[in-house]
Amino acid sequence: MLPYKPTNGPLAGLRILDLSRLLPGPLGTMLMADMGAEVIKIENPESPDYVRMFPPHLNGESVHFLMYNRSKTTLLLNYQTDEGRAEFLEMIKTADVVVEQFRPGYLNRLGIGYGVARQINPRIIYVSVTGYGQTGPYAHLAGHDLNYLGVAGVLGLTGDPADAPTVPGVQIADIAGGSYGCVMGTLAALYARERTGEGQHVDVSMTDAVMPLLTVAYGLFAGGMDSVRGQMPLSGGQPNYGVYLSKNQGDGRNRHIVLGTLEPKFWQKFCNLIQKPDWLKFMLPQTPEELVDYKKQIQTLFLERTQAEWVAFGTENDLLITPVNDLVDLQNDPQLIARQMVVTEQHPVAGAYSSVGVPLKFLR
């Protein structure tokens, strides 16, 4: 058993069989395990979760595996054999949900797909997390996070217009598309089952699931605005809403701040406090040249104070100025500490390690 197994929560009593590997499915089932669900991670002993091999390791245990599989129990079961299939189908009788991440049709060929499982347990829910979904010309193609972001149009909007698209610092399609889509699909199917008494097969496409992230950008595009990377209003096109370098604090680190003064009332207050009334026009640059010039002037201003000084100024005046935290800063951020979002876990083999906390809190 992995550390931190909750004994209660809104999903207590739910039993999930987790056949998924790598990141999207395992993180999704971990989020549900953190909410109280019993999650049994089933690994084929001849082909276990590849993440176990990914460095770094603590006393032989992959940190990545620990990060994606907290709160679960693990069962070694070769479901490719007749005996293993029979045991898996026996478990279906008492399970609520099966989460899998294989290419479409793989579990059907093994004889443990949804069609077989529903004959044993009509209430069973299968959640299939794939890159492109169960249908369409891309359905059987392999892929990873960056592929899905590229197809969905998210990658093309990210970065500077003069350069190639920027590779995001986090796995957006895997997590926002796969993990969150897994949780959302599972909960929706469970709600439907409460009304109908029957389960269903949920098709989670990571490409489909990240496309709602385009809602604002695509709305602007559909309305006739040019979709130039780095120049749309909420992705670099407004100087009063962006990221700027602050004055060096003398420790060799470059620290940035977020200027989030999107609404006119905040930008007007900012301009008044820094005594730059002529900057009010910066909200709406009319040409790419103006955009560059306005950003350059603001950047010059932010180099006059350190990150800490600007953050204090923003907090004091309610100006939406916040730090750009590096990973090393997370454990010292008072908000993240208060919300227990960076925690220390204890593992019987790996020992103590730092981890991301449980994101959903349920208040009574």
The whole-angstrom separation of Cα 269 and Cα 267 is 5
Q: How far apart are the first and last CA of the chain?
A: 29
Q: Which of 49, 96, 145, 174 is catalytic?
A: 174
Instruction: Say which residue the tokens 């962006």 belong to.
Output: 242
Q: Which residues pair with residue 347 across a beta bridge?
A: 351
Residue 251 catalytic? no
Helices (H), the chain: 24-34, 63-69, 82-92, 106-110, 114-120, 145-152, 172, 180-196, 206-210, 215-222, 264-273, 288-302, 307-317, 334-338
Residue (of 29, 52, 47, 67) closest to 347 by Cα position: 67
Tell me the HSE value of 129 on the side-chain side, using a 13 A CA sphere: 35
DSSP string for 54-79:
SSPEETTEEHHHHHHHTT-EEEE--T
CB 237 within 8 A of CB 291: yes
The whole-angstrom separation of Cα 61 and Cα 294 is 50
CB 144 within 8 A of CB 50: no
Q: Which residues pair with residue 39 across a beta bridge?
A: 16
Going by C-beta distance under 8 Å and a sequence separation of 6 or more, which residues neighbour residue 304? 247
The whole-angstrom separation of Cα 267 and Cα 234 is 15
159: left (phi over 0), alpha (psi -120 to 50) or beta: left
Query: Tokens representing 266?
Result: 């905040």
| Residues belonging to the active site | 174
